[in-house]
Structures are given as structure tokens and as C-alpha cells.
Amino acid sequence: MIAQPKYCLSALTLWLATYFFSALVWAQVSEQTTQATTAVDKGDSAVAEEVLKAPSAESVIVQSVVPVKSPNDDRDYKYIELANGLKVLLISDPVTEESAASLQVAVGSAQDPEGREGLAHFLEHMLFLGTEKYPEADAYPQYIAKSGGSHNAYTSLDHTNYFLSVRPDFLAGALDRFAQFFIAPLFTEAYVNREKEAVQAEFLAKIKDDSRRSHSVVQAVMNPNHPAARFTVGNLDTLADRPNQNVRDQLIEFYAKYYSADQMSLVVLGRESLAELERMVAERFNAVPQLVRPEMLNSQPLFLPDALPLEVRYRPEQELRELRLTFPVPDSRSYFQEKPLTQIANLLGHEGRSSLLSALKAEGLAESLWAGENDYGPYGSSFVVSIALTEKGQNNPELVKAWVFTAIDIIKRDGLEPWRFEELKQLADISFRFQEKRSPASLVQTLARNLHLYPAPDVLRAGYIYEGFDQSLLELYLDYLRPDNVFVLQADDKLETQQLSPLYDTPYLVQKPKPLLALTQEQRDQLKLPAPNPFIPGRLQVRDTVSKSSLPERLIAESKLRLWYMQDNQFDLPKSVIRIQLRSPAVGVDLQTRVQAELYVAMVLDELNEYSYPAFLAGLGFDVQATARGLDITVAGYNDRQGLLLTEVLEALVSPRLESSRFANVRGELMRRARNGDKQPPYIQLFQQLVPTLYEPAWPSAEIADAMGNTGLADLKNFGRRFTLNSQVDMLAYGNLLPAEARQLATLVGQQLTQGRPINQKGKLKLLTSARGGYERQLSVQHNDNALVIYHQADSDRYSDRAHLMLLAQSIRTPFFNSIRTEQQLGYVVFAGAMPIAEYPGLVLVAQSPHADARRLRAAFDDFISQMPEWLADDLDLQRSAVLAQLQEKPKNLAEQAGRFWDEIAAVGPAGDVDFQRRKKLIKALEQVNAVTLRTFAYRLFDPERRLVLGTGPMATEAEPVTKVTDLSSFKASGKHYIVP
């Protein structure tokens, strides 16, 4: 039970009194805010600046702190607290091309009233749908969309987070609209009734989501009095109007009771100075009321006394083999400087030689393992070990548990050594010292949560602090990792039982725990704690600049090997990115060679995992992917040991062990993932069919799974002997490297990966560009929801077509959502956007609905398109500015810049010249679009005879001529094609 405040006034009365008092006192502030917003919206930044320089907001600041930041961070920070208790972190970045804000309320689904489960989540939905100052339901999303930004929110057990990103010139206007969520939302009755349908659609859309289904099983067996044991999403039953219980009234009461300024944290990042941001925030958010609210306490444990140990099996929808061990532990948030659970997770979740995962793989029991904290905020905590099992492990869970508890015993006996703490501290210090810029939208969300967790001076560095090795603290937490204090949950797709979890109907079975098995000494000897990490970088100097080129230079231009090189002169980091593309005639010829490449790469990655895991921990990673062209290889991170890792990766690629003991399990894991593609939500299943329908070479996941089942180890060995024959390599070396070092690495790559004379593979990759005339594919999905995906393909890949399509997608994104979702409530998943395939421009319209079939969805799409000429291009300049801002945005970090360079290199064939000016050409094409050309382009693009329709049921009327696509190979061979460079 939540304790009630000892006041005679109701929470609603107090909120209203506070609100009107704030409105009276801050009338001048509100007037200034309105004037400034109007000025900004009109583009008059000078007027806005003068208005916001008014001194009246200064008195609302009661505390100010400058947090500790990374030496590599050139942003300025300031923490302030407003008079109403709102915690605020201001971030000034004069060169940012994206401004962002996030407000987190320390209130979540744990506060849902009894019988109103999902109310906090419903409230999150409603705050977007109009305020007193901006009453239109789409006023906020329209403003954000026209700024080229994005917005969203989520509700958790202990908090609700709202976030947005906009172009810098729109920050003041966005904050003015955003602040009103927390001052004067309307809760318009019509939208309350409509948005209940959206919550219901969200609930039904994920009714077969295995994470939610398994969680419903956990909720069914945990302490029913714990907040986490309750349904949190909401549906039409929990949100229905009842006699003397109108849900709108209860929404307002919940808002008035809990949405108090002193329970909120706000982070704002913009181009403005800290002083300007301070005024901007104070004048808009000081009117958020501070309430007399009930204390939000929880003394309930996750599981009832004597309930543990407990074991439960459940049947998933997907083909999953997971064993999850959950140990309730004390809240560790106050120990953020010591990080006891992080230390334990580092040892138990290690993937290097002689680790727990290494032993489980050697025994044929598991494929992957994760260990770490599951934090319930102020409502408790747990330590989780999650293991992806093989079929053998699925049949021997007791043996797997024996290995886990043996590893825990070894940690208790030998793992509590100060040098391990110092190693983690050293790695964290290096990471903090050379911290790279994150995207503003991601950063503000993280920091808004941090403001609730850590002291203001540590809000930026809390995750990197390791202060004071405390062995007794580690022993305290390790003592909770016992066989009699564990909840074991096992996914079993063959389970037969009549017992179902509430709402999600997940079959589950509670079973009595068996006595713990004992491993033999020989088995125990396989487990050893990690040795000191050999990949911790020692040379962290940034090289003196020898080249000031703004674009990569081609240092090697041979028929077999081309190398582009650029020394970084932007980010000043001791890091590099190496990208390699191997174009092999042995890959992608047919389904068999594509599957062989996938399996071959998976075996190599499996072999390299033990060696590379310490490098990963030390900030140096790699990846290898099979593609339709061949193989893509990436090595990125601190360049001190980069050459060593690249050498090992190349040697494993050309001379892998290909152990028969691992092959069956690796193949089985890939087949399982491929088969699970047919268990995804309907709209995702439709998306997964788009590329195989139009692109060559590409196949549906079911065909890939079948082909893998017919591929043996001998096929992989044969593939390994020929995948480098007649191949070509393109390579990019970018970062803290000198030209001689880049050449040396390229020589190594060429020696290992190229043999024979290169073969011209022009025409290997192609895209069907004549999917016209009412083509449709109907798919059967195992889900009660229906879905529709309509793909509209441009006439060509010319810059003009690309520019028009990007602008059209930007223009219709929010109106499409507002029409299909907000107004018609046809589904929770609704969106429209650009979807190029192999860089050929295209656009998709998507919806998933619990009650409308594919035919009705298509009719709604058609109605939207028919009404579009009435408003399309009315705000052309704003929409164009939004797209231009995205294209002109500068990379925020080394990896992002390397990715842009690599996109240009990978976009051309071996005979073509790399054009690093493509983005500028696209910008020029955008600038030439006008209202007439955009409407003409839209008319041609949305011609019903020029679309491909994918749905979960019949999509056309009885009389409508439709060509159904059944044989993909014949369909893709039937028309004109775009030849991918």
C-alpha cells in the first residue's frame, strides 16, 4: 500500500492551487516565453534573444554545479535546480547540428492504481495530444517533424522518459511546446477514447513477443505484492470507463498526484550558451508545479519468503533455448563508485579462454552467455545469468547449472583480487579520457536518467568511476549467488502444459528444483579466471598531422587491391577504423554459395571469440560479415594493438580450424535464427520479404534455413579453398595512422585475401525496377494482427529522383501517422518513410492493425494519398530545410566519419571512380525541387499501377486486376533491372 499524505486537501486540489499560484507569479515569464517562441518561429532570432535576456527568470535558480567531464569533451555543462525542485542539466555545443531534450519523471507503472494497470503508460500517450497553449492533437509532432527532428517516450516500472530532437533553430519553440506537457495538458475526451485503442493495439501487437510472454510468466510466480508483478502496458479492460470511475478523471488525478517538478529531471542540449539555455529553460519550466505528493516506497521483496529456489519452464513462440538464473540481491545504486555487480559480471560473463562460456561451448552445452544486473530502480535488484543453450544443453539444464555454480565458487575463492579492480579502473579511465561524442538524442536520454541516480558532479562520469576496492562488498553480493537463492527460468519450445500466464497465455510449468550436480575435477580444471588483459593500449599518443587532406587519398590502385587512406584531423583520438571489402566470385552465385559464406564466417567468428574478447574489453573490436558481394571486414578502436588483431582475423579467415565439434551447433544456431524470422511481428515479416522479392541475389529466411540444413563441413572446407580466388579488395584506413602503416596493413590484406586474376563481376547484383501493374504478395503469418506494406519505387536512381523522394517522405511522415494512427486508430505500428534498396530510391507505407484487415488498410492508404494534393508542398521550404539539415550534418565521431567515407567507396564497382561529392550533388538537387515538381513526382510515384503490395490477406477488391507474386525467381527474372555498381 502507498502511504497517503496527512493533509485534508486532496492531491488534485493542491495541484490546482499550485498551478494557479505559479501562473499568477510567473505571468511575466510566460509572456516572455510566448514572445520569444513567436520570434523564433518567425526566424527572428535577434528578437527572441532580447526577450529571453529579460532578468526575471534568474531568481528561479536555487542551485548550480559544473559536472566533471571528459578531457576530450568540448561541450560545456552546467547543472541547475529550479525553485520548483526540477533538476536540469544544460549542455552547450556551439557546433551541434542537432539540439535535443529529455525529461524524465521518477514515476512509472509501479504507481498504477489497483485495477487501472497501464494508467501511467496511457498518460504517457495522452501528453502528446494537445495542451492548453497548443491544443491541436498534432501540433507538437508536426512542429518536431518540420524541424527535421524526432520525438518519442517510454514508460518503465520506476520512471517515464520523454525525449525530442530538432534542428538548433527550433529548440526554443520545441521546448515551449514540450514544457506544456508538464504544465497544462488537455486530456481531450475524444482523444482519451481514441488513444485507449492505441494502447490496446500496442498490447495486441506484442501479444506474441517472447520477451513480454516470458515476463508474464515471471510475474505469475513472483511476489504478487511487488510492483514488478503487475501488468504495465494496459488494454481496453484495464482502461475502460466504469460506474463512478471515468478513466479520464483518473488520468487527471494520477497526473495531479505524481507529476511534480521535484520528481523530474531535464537535460537540454543546444547551440546556445549556458546562460541562454538557462534562461530558455527557467522561463518555460518553472511553471511546472511542485506538488505535495505521497511517498513512493516499496518494502516488498521480489519473491515471497521461502519461495526460492524456484524453477519454471515456459513455451516460447520462437525457437528459443535459454536458461536464465536470477538471484535477488540488495540495491546496488549507492555503490556506483565500487561497482560490485559489474566486477562480478566481468568475471562470470567473460568469454576468453578457460571462461565459463568457453567450457560450456567445449562441452556442447551453450552458444552464448550474458551476466549482469537487472535493476528495478528503488524497487529492488537482481543479478542475472542468461545462457543460450544448444540442444544438448536444453536436455541437460542441471549440468549447465552445475557449471555456473562451479564458476561462482571459483570467483568466491580466487577472484577477489585488487589487481582485477585496478584493471577495470584503468580501462574505464582510458574510455573516459578518450570519450567520443554521442548523438544528442541518445545522450540527453541517458543523462536525464543519471540525474535521478547520481550526484550532480558525477552525472557525466558515474559509469566510469572505480574508487576503492572493497573485498567485503564483493563477498556480500557473491553470497547472494547461491543455489537456494535462485529463480531458474527455462525456455522449452516442446513444453506441453495447460497452465497459462495471465493476459499473454504463455504455457508454463513450475517444477521442484533438483539437487545440484557436482562436476568432476577434470571438468572443474577447465575453468580458470581471466589472465591480465594483453590488449590494454599502452601507446595512446595522437600522431602529429602529416596530411591535412579533407578526403581520403588513394594510395594503392591495383587491379587486385585498392587502398584509400586518410589521417584523422578532426577528433584527435588514438584510434583508427579499417574497413575491407572482399569481392569474391565464389559468394552469392546461388543460394548454396551464399549459405556457405554465412556458415564459413560464423565458424571463423566462433573460433576468434576467445582470442578477441579481451581486445573487445580493451576498446578494440572487429567484425566479419558475409554479403552478396563477398565479405566485409572491420577492425576499429585503439590502434596500439590493431595490427595484431587484424593479422589474427586474416589468418583465421584463410586457415580456419573448422572443428567438427563446433560445426553442428554453429549451424544449428544460424538455422534457428533464420527460422525465427517467421515468428516476428507481421509488419517485420512483410519487410523481410521486400528485398527477396526485388533484389538479386537474395532469398527468404525459410529457404536459407533449409539450405543450411543441406550444407556440410566438407562444403565449407571447399569454400575456404576458393573464396579468395580471382577476388578484389577495396580498403579504407582512417584515423591515427601514418601512410606507411596503412600501406603495410594493406599489403598484409592483399597477400592473404587475393589470389589469381580479378574477374569483372558487373551485373552480379541487380534490382527489379519494373514491379508495376498491381503486383502483390500475400503472406500467412502466425499472429492475430494484420499488416500491410506498400512499396513505391522511383523511376531512376538519378539525384533528382532521390531528392524528390527524400522530400516527399519527409513531408508525409507525420500526416500519415496522424491520419492512420491518431485519427482512425487503425493500429499501433504506423509509419511512412524512404526505403532505398541497394541505394535505388523507394518509399514505404506501413501499418499493423489488430482489427482492420489488409484490404481496409489499403483503402485507408489510398484515401490518404488521394487527399495529399490538397496540402503537399504547402510548407515546402520547411520540409526542405529539414532534409537539408540531415544531409549537411557533420559526423559526430570517428566511426561515423569512417562510415560516410566507406559508403562512397562501397557504392562504386572496381572500375568506377569514388565520388566523395555525392552528398553535395544530392543537396544541390534538393535545392532545385519546387512545388510543381514535387507534386508531379508524387503523382507518378503513387500511381496504383506502379506499386508492390505485401499483406497478410487479400488486398485488392474482387474486380481489381491483380498479379500475385508466388514464384520469386520467375518474378525477378521477368522485367527490367537496375544493375548495382
pLDDT greater than 90 at residue 547: no
CATH of span 11-285:
3.30.830.10
Q: Which residues of 855-882 are buried (b: 16+ CB within 10 A; e: fewer)?
A: bbbbebbeebbeebeeebbeebebbbbb
Classified by CATH at the fold level, domain 553-753 comes out as Cytochrome Bc1 Complex; Chain A, domain 1 (3.30.830)
pLDDT at 980: 85
Helix (H) or strand (E) holding 817: helix 799-817
pLDDT greater than 60 at residue 857: yes
Of the CA atoms within 13 Å of residue 896, those in its CB half-sphere come to 11
C-alpha to C-alpha distances, 709 to 592, 704, 705, 777, nearest whole angstrom: 11, 9, 6, 26
User: How far is it, in rounded angstroms, from Cα 762 to Cα 823?
Assistant: 49
Q: What is the mean pLDDT of residues 527-552?
A: 93
On the question of a common fold for 553-753 and 766-979, the answer reads yes
User: How far is it, in rounded angstroms, from Cα 206 to Cα 213?
Assistant: 9
Tell me 2's DSSP state.
P
User: How far is it, in rounded angstroms, from Cα 897 to Cα 734?
Assistant: 9
pLDDT at 772: 58
pLDDT greater than 70 at residue 873: yes
User: How far is it, in rounded angstroms, from Cα 730 to Cα 561?
Assistant: 6
In sequence order, what are the beta bridge partners of 155?
A: 160
Q: Which pLDDT band holds residue 775 (cuts at 50, 70, 90)? A: confident
pLDDT at 909: 61
Q: What is the mean pLDDT of residues 192-206?
A: 95
Query: In this predicted model, what pLDDT tens digit does every residue of 435-459 receive, in sequence order?
Result: 999 999 999 999 999 999 999 999 9
pLDDT at 959: 63
Higher per-residue confidence, 663 vs 959 = 663
Query: In this predicted model, what pLDDT tens digit does every residue of 59-87 receive, in sequence order?
Result: 578 889 999 999 999 999 999 999 999 99
By the 8 A CB rule, do 544 and 738 touch? no
CB neighbours of residue 15 within 10 Å: 24
Angle at Cα 103 formed by Cα 97 and Cα 104, nearest 5°?
140
Q: Which pLDDT band holds residue 33 (cuts at 50, 70, 90)? A: very low
pLDDT at 764: 84
Before 309, cis peptide (omega within 30)? yes
Q: Which pLDDT band holds residue 911 (cuts at 50, 70, 90)? A: low
Q: Which pLDDT band holds residue 51 (cuts at 50, 70, 90)? A: very low
CB neighbours of residue 904 within 10 Å: 18
pLDDT greater than 80 at residue 12: no
Query: In this predicted model, what pLDDT tens digit does every residue of 322-376 receive, in sequence order?
Result: 999 999 999 999 999 999 999 999 999 999 999 999 999 999 999 999 999 998 9
Q: What is the mean pLDDT of residues 566-593?
A: 95
Q: Which pLDDT band holds residue 908 (cuts at 50, 70, 90)? A: confident
pLDDT at 910: 60
Tell me which of 42-56, 562-576, 802-816, 917-931 is least confident.
42-56
The CATH superfamily holding the domain 766-979 is: Metalloenzyme, LuxS/M16 peptidase-like (3.30.830.10)
* 3-state secondary structure at position 960: coil
Unique residue bearing C-alpha cell 588483431: 645
Q: Which pLDDT band holds residue 906 (cuts at 50, 70, 90)? A: confident
Domain ranges of the chain: 11-285, 310-519, 553-753, 766-979
Angle at Cα 787 formed by Cα 786 and Cα 793, nearest 5°?
160
DSSP β-ladder status, 947-951 and 775-778: parallel
User: How far is it, in rounded angstroms, from Cα 972 to Cα 769?
Assistant: 9
pLDDT greater than 90 at residue 776: no
pLDDT greater than 90 at residue 1: no
Judge if pTM exceeds 0.85. yes
Give the E-state strand segments of 529-601 in sequence order. 553-557, 561-567, 575-583
Q: What is the mean pLDDT of residues 911-928?
A: 90
Q: Which pLDDT band holds residue 30 (cuts at 50, 70, 90)? A: very low
Instruction: Tell me the pLDDT of the chain averaged across its residues.
Output: 91
Share of the chain above pLDDT 70, in %: 93
Q: What is the mean pLDDT of residues 765-786?
A: 83
User: How far is it, in rounded angstroms, from Cα 150 to Cα 163?
Assistant: 8
Tell me which of 769-773, 815-819, 904-908, 916-920 is least confident.
769-773
By the 8 A CB rule, do 415 and 196 touch? no
- Does domain 310-519 fall into CATH 3.50.50.60? no
Q: What is the mean pLDDT of residues 763-769?
A: 86
By the 8 A CB rule, do 723 and 593 touch? no
